[in-house]
């Protein structure tokens, strides 16, 4: 089955409007993960990524996550978002 054949019937849970609170949470995750996208784009765009390039990028990501945990932005201040950031930090520190 191709995704083009997928349909969602009116009145089902999947066709219900998304609440503002959910949109805010989703936009918070997009905001938080944007630095990771930038880092991925930077490292993927390099023909020869080196350790001298990766270390500063890695440190910026750790700095970003620490900053979000210590001073959450308005769009990323729920308990679930902060827990997510802490898990991300733990994973980053495994590679340190």
In a domain, 48, yes or no: yes
Do 68 and 76 meet the contact criterion of CB atoms below 8 Å apart? Answer: yes
Q: In total, how many domains does the chain have? A: 1
What mean pLDDT do residues 12-32 have? Answer: 83
Give kind and range of the element (H or E) at residue 86.
Answer: helix 79-94
**Is 82 within a domain?**
yes
d(CA 67, CA 65): 5
> How far is the CA of 3 from the CAs of 12, 17, 39, in angstroms?
18, 21, 30
Q: Does 70 map to a domain?
A: yes
- Give the pLDDT score at 41: 92
pLDDT tens for residues 66-81? Answer: 998 998 777 777 788 8
pTM: 0.74
User: Does 8 reside within a domain?
Assistant: no
């Amino acid at each position: 089955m191709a995704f083009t054949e997928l349909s969602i019937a009116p009145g089902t849970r999947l066709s219900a409007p998304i609440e503002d609170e959910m949109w805010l949470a989703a936009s918070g995750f997009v905001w938080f993960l944007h630095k990771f996208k930038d880092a991925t784009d930077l490292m993927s765009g390099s023909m020869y990524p080196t350790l001298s390039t990766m270390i500063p990028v890695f440190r910026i990501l750790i700095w970003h996550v620490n900053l979000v945990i210590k001073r959450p932005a308005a769009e990323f201040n729920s308990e679930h978002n902060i827990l997510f950031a802490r898990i991300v930090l733990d994973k980053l520190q495994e590679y340190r």
